Amino acid sequence: MDDSVRKRSVTIAGHRTSFSLEDAFWQELVGIAERRNVTLAELVVEIDSDRDGNLSSALRLYVLRDLQNRLASQTSNQTPGQTQTGPGVAGARDDAPGPDKQA
């Protein structure tokens, strides 16, 4: 995945609005819009209406908060003793001893 910042544009209130965003954040925004069954432009309008700083920062923070909320939801739905591992899981270690690994 390319980590370079790219200019993106959406139409808000009839005006083209541009912002700079990395591919990873862009892809997450697209996924959030799909999960919420809204267009990307509708999602950006919602984020834009609630922002305090610049739009690019607001979009990144929205993605971060969405990921944090989904992670918290996943971990709260686990049964006691169950662990969460995998890409993007804070503190997860693939090298930690497990049932098939010796300490």
Dihedral class, residue 94 (left if φ above 0, else alpha if ψ from -120 to 50, else beta): alpha
pTM over 0.95, yes/no? no
pLDDT by residue (tens digit) across 38-50? 999 999 999 999 8
What single-letter amino acid sits at 34? E
pLDDT by residue (tens digit) across 83-102? 555 545 444 444 444 444 44
Q: At what angle do helices 23-36 and 40-50 cross, to 10 degrees?
A: 100
